[in-house]
Chains A and B, each alone.
Chain A
Amino acid sequence: LLKHVRNISRHRTFLNMIHSFSRILSSKRNIGILSLMGGSVAAGFLLQREHASAGSPLRRRYPASSEYPDLRQHNNCMASNLTPAIYAKLCDKTTPNGYTLDQAIQTGVDNPGHPFIKTVGMVAGDEESYEVFADLLDPIIKERHNGYDPCVMKHPTDLDSSKIHSGQFDDRYVLSSRVRTGRSIRGLSLPPACTRAERREVERVVVDALAGLKGDLTGRYYSLTQMTEKEQQQLIDDHFLFDKPVSPLLTCAGMARDWPDARGIWHNNEKTFLIWINEEDHTRVISMEKGGNMKRVFDRFCRGLKEVERLIQERGWEFMWNERLGYILTCPSNLGTGLRAGVHVKLPLLSKDPRFSKILDNLRLQKRGTGGVDTAAVGGVFDISNLDRLGQSEVQLVQTVVDGVNYLIECEKRLERGQDIKVPPPIKQFK
């Protein structure tokens, strides 16, 4: 059994069995029994940490109605969907890792939200959260993903970049192109809930796999705890370095615990393929380059992702994925493809046209300032990316961005020539 412990299906079954067993024992608080088993394999598993916390069945002494959060001032997806009945139904459940509803919703309770920007207000602590708390997460997913119904629909995954056409933009308008997504390692808890050991295991598994990348993907890893000042400065200059999260949306969900332990950045020598480890997700994968060759960016993205997947599978690991929700990530807003494909594009005339927002809406695109979400545009340069994440494949979403950005550039050119533009008909959301 020890030799085959990396075989996923047996590993998972064994782990699940041990988790249930250890939960039964520790709920009887019979630590004595555990110590009798000495140094055996079973004892090793049985001594694995329990994540008991406020709200776990061990200690609930108040009825659900006394624990139900006051969400009257709140405006987020969790608050819109968490009725007292759903709370009562779910508040005593835990995932096999011990993650609870109270933990999952804490970020939404602590961050009432903004009248204009509706945040999700809830996170997953592990893959099982999406099943155990489905009564709350399914309606949130449906609301956030514009009607995608996880109860009846299936999410398509397609990383065949050869299907993209017209993916090269006019470099006079498009300054840079970028595609990002996230991937989670099955069997390890997600950033809101992981222990230090699990987080370090994520780092080890991913860094190990990345060391196997070759050719234009050859690169190296910079651990946040060990990088030199010089390396740090270079990463800042390259705009690669990520900081300890300060947003309370993330800190209230526990994602910044133990910073900077087991966090780091990997990038290839060409600086066109970058991976963040243990920030808001196990991994964030980014392909980028200056200019408008989105096709090449997406080619590299798909190739790199598939290669990383192959390398972790060789070692007995796999990504969290299912056909209902696609790739499983910490925030429900990133389910499905987890993909944001975008460009920095100069649209000084179009952006002043009152029809700009409507055009974007109909093309199923969103705009941000070039500093990222919630920043203002500078010099007429916008970050334009896909609106959707779930219910369409990677190829479909990138093609949407390609078609949409080409259209926007056409509009800009027409306005430059003094010609009028047309608002395009809304494109179909679920194909």
Chain B
Amino acid sequence: DTKGLFEFVEEEYPDLSKHNNHMAKVLTKELYGKLRDKQTSSGYTLDDVIQTGIDNPGHPFIMTVGCVAGDEESYEVFKDLLDPVISDRHGGYKPTDKHKTDLNFENLKGGDDLDPNYVLSSRVRTGRSIKGYTLPPHNSRGERRAIEKLSIEALTSLEGEFKGKYYPLKSMTDAEQEQLINDHFLFDKPVSPLLTCAGMARDWPDGRGIWHNDDKTFLVWVNEEDHLRVISMQKGGNMREVFRRFCVGLQKIEEIFKKHNHGFMWNEHLGYILTCPSNLGTGLRGGVHVKLPKLSTHAKFEEILTRLRLQKRGTGGVDTASVGGVFDISNADRLGSSEVEQVQLVVDGVKLMVEMEKKLEKGEAIDSMIPAQK
């Protein structure tokens, strides 16, 4: 009986019958057969791409992506899988669509007048991958250390409002660790199986660290889920200032990496290339912690958010519950619109929702304020 030796697709194709994630919806047996013998030039395979989605069947309500990229080339070599996944995840984005990048903070209108009685804090984050290195699911210790070394060089050369310090995870002192925890800066070894099954926690904490400026308003995570996660934040509602610092800081960092011949991974179709397909495009999540106790219990709250192209989370992050009526409100889109456009939606949308909250406090109706779909 030679059947077992030759019908490889049948034998290797994963059982996705109980799965509910974007990868499982797209990956037919035929598609698996077509892609299974391909690899990127760094040796990343289809099985590597999809392992996290096989090991995490998903949730009936939350649709995870179920696949990751191991390097920049993954998005090319495995296009036949990743393009439909990207389309499903990013509202119908087509393989021929072009993504606009706009990090010119002056193009943002307003954003400096969100009411601090309601808006407790403002934050913008994104990720960046460094060209010439493979991504966290795939990189070796040598590569990860090289990424760290280059990042330290780039970050420690920053000056002025960006002058700061790097804290490597494996050698920070107890006092430093305590401080970083109190500042809510310290990131932990990933425990989510979405990340661990993709191999992103290997060799922890080797090559990982946190850099932040002296003012504690600009923070970079090195070698967590992406090469770099860049975060600008401050208390209160001045999103404009947060976004300015974000754009200026990012551009300064990018210049330095470019000088070392390791610019950021980017192309005009997918924008900034990151590990998870959900973070392509801008990779940007701009958001606020805002008090909306009345609005959040209004029947139309979810619909308002959808129309404003915003999403809510609890203040502990994705998948946590809100506490005391305080919500984390941020942009829902990543790909197909620019940084300025996405932050504009947050600024305008939050402004509107705070006005709605105030109306509800006075016992007035808000129906006339409910916006059309943006």
Closest to A315 in B: B1
Contact A59 B41 (CB under 8 A): yes
Contact of B5 among A44, A49, A70, A109 (CB under 8 A): A44
Q: A49-B36, A109-B203, A197-B12 are in contact. Are A56 and B54 (CB under 8 A)?
A: no
B4 touches A204 (CB 8 A): yes
Chain B positions 1-36 with a Cβ under 8 Å from a chain A Cβ:
1-2, 4-6, 8, 11-15, 36
**Quick one: which of B321-363 are within 8 Å of A by CB?**
none
Name A256's closest neighbour in chain B (CB-CB).
Answer: B55
Smallest Cβ-Cβ distance to A225: which chain B residue? B15
Residues of B within 8 A of A56 (CB): 43
Given the complex, which residues of A lie within 8 Å of B234, measured CB to CB? Answer: none
Q: A54-B138, A259-B55 are in contact. Are A110 and B36 (CB under 8 A)?
A: no
- CA A257 to CA B47, docked complex, whole Å: 11
A195 to B13 CA separation, bound complex (whole angstroms): 10
The verdict on A61 contacting chain B, using a C-beta distance below 8 Å, is: yes
Q: Which of B34-54 contact A (CB under 8 A)?
A: 36-39, 41-45, 47-48, 51, 54
Query: Are B14 and A197 in contact (CB-based, < 8 A)?
Result: no
Query: Does A83 have its Cβ within 8 Å of any Cβ on chain B?
Result: no
Contact between chains at B41 and A257 (CB < 8 Å): no
Tell me, yes or no, whether A279 is within 8 Å of chain B by CB: no
Judge whether A197 and B11 touch: CB under 8 Å. Answer: yes
Query: Is A368 engaged at the interface, CB distance under 8 Å to the other chain?
Result: no
Q: In the complex, how many angstroms separate the beta carbon of A102 from the nearest chain B beta carbon?
A: 7
Q: Is A332 an interface residue (CB 8 A)?
A: no
Query: Is chain A's interface secondary structure helix, strand, loop, or mixed overall?
Result: loop
List B128-146 residues whose CB lies under 8 Å from chain A: 134, 138-143, 145-146
Contact of A48 among B8, B14, B138, B170 (CB under 8 A): B8
- The reply to whether B37 and A66 form a contact with Cβ atoms under 8 Å apart is no
Interface size class of B (residues with CB under 8 A): 35 or more
Give the docked Cα–Cα distance between A63 and B142 (Å).
8
Q: Measured between alpha carbons, how far is A257 from B140 in the docked complex, in Å?
A: 20
- One digit per residue, 1 when the CB lies within 8 angstroms of any chain B CB and 0 when it does not, for chain A 97-120 equals 000001000100110000000000
Q: Give the distance in Å from the alpha carbon of A53 to the alpha carbon of B139 in the complex.
A: 9
A5 within 8 A of B: yes
A342 adjacent to chain B (CB < 8 Å): no
Tell me whether A195 and B47 are in contact in the complex, defined as CB-CB below 8 angstroms, given that A61-B142, A66-B145, A258-B54 are known contacts: yes
Smallest beta-carbon distance B28→chain A, Å: 16
| A69-B55 in contact (CB<8A) | no
Q: Is the CB of B15 within 8 A of A54?
A: no
Assess A258 versus B14: contact at CB under 8 Å? Given A2-B2, A67-B141, A67-B142.
yes
Task: Return A13 CB to nearest CB of chain B, in Å.
Answer: 15
Across the interface, do A195 and B142 meet the contact criterion of CB distance under 8 Å? no
* B196 close to chain A: CB less than 8 A: yes
A residues near B5, Cβ cutoff 8 Å: 5, 44-45
Which residues of chain B are within 8 angstroms of A53 by Cβ–Cβ distance?
Answer: 43, 48, 138
- A128-156 toward B: CB 8 Å interface, digit per residue (1/0)? 00000000000000000000000000000
In the complex with contacts A56-B43, A258-B55, A259-B55, A69-B146 CB distance below 8 A: no
On chain A, the residues within 8 Å of B36 by CB distance are: 49
Chain B stretch 162-176: residues in CB contact (< 8 A) with chain A: 170
Q: Nearest residue in B to A70 (C-beta to C-beta)? A: B206
- Work out how many contacts link A and B, with CB atoms closer than 8 A: 104
Annotate B194-232 by CB proximity to A: 1 below 8 A, 0 otherwise: 001100011110100000000000000000000000000
Closest to A260 in B: B15
A200 within 8 A of B: yes
A62 touching B143, Cβ below 8 Å: yes
The residue that A251 contacts in the complex, of B12, B41, B196, B203, with Cβ under 8 A, is: B196
In the bound complex, what is the Cα–Cα distance between A66 and B55 (angstroms)? 31
**A66 pairs with B14, CB closer than 8 A:** no
Contacts of A256 in B (CB 8 A): 55
Alpha-carbon separation in the docked complex, A6 to B5 (Å): 11
Q: A67 touching B45 by the CB < 8 A rule?
A: no
- Asked whether A31 lies within 8 Å of B55 as measured between CB atoms, the reply is no
CB distance from A76 to the nearest CB of B (A): 14
Bound Cα distance from A195 to B12, whole angstroms: 7
B2 and A5 form a contact (CB under 8 A): yes
B-side contacts of A29, CB under 8 Å: 41
Q: Mark A257-280, 1 if CB is under 8 A from B, else 0.
A: 111010000000000000000000
Partner of A196, one of B12, B134, B141, B204: B12
Q: Known: A66-B145, A251-B196. Is A257-B54 also a contact (CB below 8 A)?
A: yes
B196 A69 Cβ-Cβ under 8 A: no
Query: In the complex, what's the smallest C-beta–C-beta distance from A174 to chain B, in angstroms?
Result: 40
- Please indicate the chain A residues that have their CB under 8 angstroms from the CB of B14 in the complex: 196, 258, 261
**Are B142 and A44 within 8 A (Cβ)?**
no
Q: How far is the CA of A34 from the CA of B146 in the complex (A)?
A: 36
Residues in B lying within 8 Å of A, measured CB to CB = 1-2, 4-6, 8, 11-15, 36-39, 41-45, 47-48, 51, 54-55, 134, 138-143, 145-146, 170, 196-197, 201-204, 206
Given A48-B8, A201-B4, 4 further pairs, Cβ under 8 A: A31-B38, A58-B42, A67-B140, A257-B51
Please list the residues of chain A having a beta carbon within 8 angstroms of any beta carbon in chain B. Answer: 2, 5-6, 29, 31, 34, 41, 44-45, 47-50, 52-56, 58-63, 66-70, 73, 102, 106, 109-110, 195-197, 200-201, 204, 225, 251-252, 256-259, 261
Offer 26 A-B interface pairs, CB within 8 angstroms, sorted by A.
Answer: A5-B2, A5-B5, A6-B1, A49-B36, A50-B39, A54-B43, A54-B139, A58-B42, A58-B43, A59-B43, A61-B142, A66-B141, A67-B141, A69-B206, A70-B206, A73-B170, A102-B140, A106-B203, A110-B201, A110-B204, A196-B11, A252-B202, A257-B55, A257-B197, A259-B55, A261-B14
Q: Which 10 A-B pairs have the closest CB atoms?
A: A62-B142, A52-B43, A197-B11, A66-B142, A44-B6, A67-B142, A54-B140, A197-B12, A59-B42, A58-B43
